[in-house]
Structure 1
Amino acid sequence: MRRTPYSPITRFMLLISPATESKDMRLSVLSPDFPDGAPTQLFGDRAWGIAELDLQTSDDTVDFICLSYSWGLGRTPSPFHPTAMVSDRTEPAVSAIIMQRPACQRIWVDAFSVPGEEHPAERAATLESMGFIYSQAIEVIVVLTEQACPAIEQIRQRRDLLPTHLGLLEKEDWVTRAWTYQEAVNAKRLFITCENAAHGTIVDCTEFLSYLGHALILLPLPERAGYPRLDSFEDVMTDWNVAGYLERSALQVMSAMDTRSQTRIEDHFYAMIGALSNEPAKPVQLLSPCEAFISLCERKGDYSFIFSSVERDTTLGRRWRPVDDPKLPAIIRLPSWGNGFRGRVDDGCLILENVVILKPAPPLPHLDAFMKEFVAGYRPDGAYAGLDFGEAAFKVLQELGFRGTSEYVSTGYGFFFCREQLPQLDSVEILVAAGIRWCLGAPGIARYTQDSDKDEVSFYEPGVFVGSMVDLEDAPTIVRLV
């Protein structure tokens, strides 16, 4: 293979797009209708090759299916690009789609459709457009391994999943990969099948989610802890199910991607960009992977990327902003809902909407009932019964993947746990994002000031507010971060 002189990061920076404002885009798809002389591979009883597809969002006659699967560890030479190596699961996964959709004429397959590394600009544009590509497909089909077939067949026959089926599904690594998240959540229609399955062994995602959720909710809590992948599986399916009427926030994507793996560093951010945007790539300035994601969020007006556990920028006017980071992990790995943290930059200041400003204060009497229910809901075994509410809440947050300190600020309405220990200053105030919710409260920012040599300087630290948001529904306002 001819080696490209570009590093992985530089390849990400070369975001030169073939797309136009009318959303035209040329895709390479697997098709039985291919150009004369093109390399072919036999799938079923037909020869398939690579064809070019002119994609326009205004053209409803152009249809194709997108494949979603996990590559695994095995590799084999590509039948269409012999110098390239692809997953040894690619051909079985394609065969599975053809078995379930015999009338299909076009399949977008990452291993065959993404330009190679010897074409860095085209490759980067395609990878940044993944959200667009998957959103334009008539359907996305998830192909699990053959071991998942008994579970798929059980659901197809409308029978409840058994513990043995849950054990088989738990072994699937589809949910652990970075790319599969954005592939699923952008789908118009999402189906699940498996390798080497008979025709008809395919189920709609909504039906799959119903049976999986029912089986998980019947498990005792200690047993459910043994299925972390299925919990993530359920979260992804739910995310797809509500995508039609709830906008996905940056924080929601960061949390969902937190434990997923990828081969290249930049793939983590490509996948997050695809989960937030279903627009084709456009020319942009030279940016790092992290900065490209943050810039997209800023263009969308969603500043919930602030709730990352990384250090803050030290530049005046940008101390609220996370620094460039290889993964930009969320402050806590917890599903959220809401319309994001809406804001805009104006005259060097960040103006944020729908913010509740709280000051340090003793807990209000009615907070006891909320905290008892919160702690008991996560630890019904009473393991934290002897601790005060702040200590017990921190223990629960740790179990949920919180990245922060055990010291907290009591605001009267709840407890705020920060990424880093705060200085003991009277100027501290907590800015709670009312537009994003967790079952335990909402994300927030601690704002405090310190005197420098010349001026009073504001600092910002992200964290988790544990408390009832019902009491704060009439309190949101607009704040300026300088």
Structure 2
Amino acid sequence: MRLFVLSPDSRSDGSPSGSRTQLIGNRAWSLVELDLRPNPDGHGADFVCVSYSWGLGRTPSAFHPSSLVSDRTEGAVAAVVEQRPACRSIWVDAFCVPSEEEHPAERAATLESMGFIYAQAAEVIVVLTAQARPAIEQLARKHKLLPAHLDLLEQEDWVTRAWTYQEAVNARHLSLTCENAPRGTIVSCSDFLSSLGHALVALHPDERAASYPRLDAFEDVMGDWAVAGYLERSALQVMAIMDRRTQTRPEDHFYAMIGALSAEPAGMKPLQQQQLASPCEAFMALCEREGDYSFIFASVKRDMTMPGRWWRPVAGPELPAIIRLSSWGGLRGRFEDGCLTLEDVVVLRPAPALPHLAVFIEEFVVGFRPDGAYAGLEPGEAAFKVLQELGFSGTSEYVATEYGLFFPWERLPRRDGVEILVAVGLRWSLGAAAIARYAKSSESDDVVSCYEPGVFFGTMVDLVGSPVTVRLV
């Protein structure tokens, strides 16, 4: 794909020469074209990507005068130039994404390929604001993060923005610095994650949740990057992390999710030109194309307008995960001949729970809330309280099975004949993603299958050895 990058202007004596040249870090930089293709040897291309939050301030672009860009862009690039003085090519969104007015098709193709761009870079450098400098300097000196540093990092918008998630998790090498920092003030993501984790673990759970909700989300993103090389990142994992992030335009939410899920260049027509109902539909279509059906565990209604696909979420402005908890594994499937076939599913039916389930729930709840906030509650009620803290917006009217409690997103109209399809390969520490199936008479008096997503709260020890393939019609 054709990519524009910033490169030092060899024709310049150090001062800007024309509208397509900008003085940054005492050097003049120009936009040049790069033919970006997947590198067969696995090494990154010879450019650095800049990851930063735009903030609220805007200024005319030096390279696209009709466009307004973040007033942080130049400072972010200058920080990268300071920390990587030998770098000869830099990609930064505000300058390198084609303008919508001049090249709308190329712009859309670039946005669709953001995951690919960041995945191909030799390094991605996160540039925090100058306010974070004491914290970054502390880490660069290999010292522990103190509460005062956590307070500074908590104020950083980078940890909540939609785009920055897919920028970080696709990076081959990820580092962090900040504006206006002296050379050498840069830390690796692994060192940052280790120090942040130690600092947060030392806090009381209530203090951590109340005082540092952004850093909680930050740790999830960094952790996702750390395990990306050997664990599958499912659509549900992306949805859960993105639920705690913000964006300026609604469609940016889905572009960012697409970038986090796929590090491939735009292989089809740009998303904005496809005959798709919405950006949400584009995301779900990508998941289906990749055989990742974990997106069905979204807290939205099912699409009852498509016969044979009543398991599918309605494509709307949002696609929130059933709970905001990092998951691992995935749910593979394929849609053929009007049927969805899912792999590694266990089918359970309503039944009295085995005695050890109450023990599992009690131990989990105590570990989750060691302050005893839910002590004395009935296991199902305590489990529901935990799910609510994790962003579950469903009903407390659970369905009991031998091995766990199924909490549906919406109340099930009936209990008799209900099957709970547990995706044993798509796990949380508290259980697994699941969907209820029940029969219903349609307007034509035909009996059809209906589906309701939810959370299976229970032990997985007795389930992982007996998955089967299930057909959803």
Unaligned residue ranges in structure 2 (runs of 5+) = 12-16
Q: Matched residues in 1 for 2:48 and 2:341: separation?
A: 42
**Maintained 8 Å contact 1:34/1:49:** no
Alpha-carbon deviations, 1:153-204, whole Å to 9, x = none?
1111111110111111111110111000000000000000000000000000
Aligned residue for 1:429?
419
Deviation at 1:37, TM superposition (A): 5.4
Aligned residue for 1:125?
109
Q: Matched residues in 2 for 1:242 and 1:327: separation?
A: 27
More off after superposition, 291-300 vs 29-38: 29-38
Deviation at 1:149, TM superposition (A): 1.0
Q: What do you get for the CA RMSD once the two structures are aligned?
A: 1.4
Deviation at 1:479, TM superposition (A): 0.5
Equivalent of residue 253 in structure 2, options 260, 268, 278: 268
Alpha-carbon deviations, 1:205-242, whole Å to 9, x = none?
00100000011111122221121111111110110011
Alpha-carbon deviations, 1:11-58, whole Å to 9, x = none?
xxxxxxxxxxxxxx1111111147885622111221111111121223
Aligned residue for 2:321?
330
Deviation at 1:382, TM superposition (A): 1.8
Q: Matched residues in 2 for 1:309 and 1:174: separation?
A: 26
Equivalent of residue 235 in structure 1, options 204, 214, 220: 220
Q: Percent identity?
A: 71
The letter of the residue matching 1:278 is A
Q: Are 1:383 and 2:373 matched, yes or no?
A: yes
More off after superposition, 165-174 vs 258-267: 258-267
Q: Matched residues in 2 for 1:447 and 1:221: separation?
A: 37
Aligned residue for 1:465?
456
3-state secondary structure, aligned to 1:470: coil
Deviation at 1:445, TM superposition (A): 0.1
Q: Matched residues in 2 for 1:83 and 1:248: separation?
A: 38
3-state secondary structure, aligned to 1:63: strand
**Maintained 8 Å contact 2:408/2:453:** yes
Q: Are 1:212 and 2:201 matched, yes or no?
A: no
Q: Matched residues in 2 for 1:305 and 1:180: separation?
A: 21
Q: Matched residues in 2 for 1:425 and 1:174: separation?
A: 45
3-state secondary structure, aligned to 2:392: coil
Equivalent of residue 310 in structure 2, options 316, 319, 325: 319
Q: Matched residues in 1 for 2:350 and 2:259: separation?
A: 39
The letter of the residue matching 2:340 is L
Aligned residue for 2:27?
46
Q: Matched residues in 2 for 1:355 and 1:417: separation?
A: 17
Aligned residue for 2:282?
292
Aligned residue for 1:27?
3
Q: What number of residue pairs does the alignment pair up?
A: 457
Q: Are 1:80 and 2:69 matched, yes or no?
A: no
CA gap 1:240/1:62 in 2 versus in 1, 3 angstroms: closer
Q: Matched residues in 2 for 1:86 and 1:442: separation?
A: 43
Deviation at 1:416, TM superposition (A): 0.6
More off after superposition, 91-100 vs 403-412: 403-412
**Maintained 8 Å contact 2:332/2:342:** yes
CA gap 1:34/1:422 in 2 versus in 1, 3 angstroms: farther
3-state secondary structure, aligned to 2:108: helix
3-state secondary structure, aligned to 1:263: coil
Q: Matched residues in 2 for 1:341 and 1:34: separation?
A: 51
Deviation at 1:477, TM superposition (A): 0.7
Normalised to the residue count of structure 1, the TM-score between the two structures is 0.93
**Maintained 8 Å contact 1:114/1:126:** yes
Alpha-carbon deviations, 1:424-479, whole Å to 9, x = none?
23110100111111111111001000233432110000000100111211121110
Runs of 4+ in 1 over 4 A off after TM superposition: 34-38, 59-62
Q: How does 1:250-269 map to 2 (within 5 A)?
A: 250-269=235-254
**Maintained 8 Å contact 2:45/2:121:** no
Q: How does 1:67-466 map to 2 (within 5 A)?
A: 67-118=50-101, 119-225=103-209, 226-284=211-269, 285-287=274-276, 288-314=278-304, 315-338=306-329, 340-452=330-442, 453-466=444-457
**Maintained 8 Å contact 1:38/1:50:** no
CA gap 1:27/1:162 in 2 versus in 1, 3 angstroms: same
Q: Matched residues in 2 for 1:240 and 1:227: separation?
A: 20
Q: Matched residues in 2 for 1:277 and 1:321: separation?
A: 21
Normalised to the residue count of structure 2, the TM-score between the two structures is 0.94
The letter of the residue matching 2:455 is V
**Maintained 8 Å contact 2:123/2:172:** yes
Which structure exhibits the higher relative contact order, with contacts defined as CA atoms closer than 8 Å and separated by 6 or more residues?
1
3-state secondary structure, aligned to 1:472: coil
Q: Matched residues in 1 for 2:157 and 2:266: separation?
A: 29
Alpha-carbon deviations, 1:268-309, whole Å to 9, x = none?
111000001111002244212111110110111010000001
Unaligned residue ranges in structure 1 (runs of 5+) = 1-24
CA gap 1:95/1:443 in 2 versus in 1, 3 angstroms: same
Q: Matched residues in 2 for 1:91 and 1:476: separation?
A: 53
Aligned residue for 1:475?
466
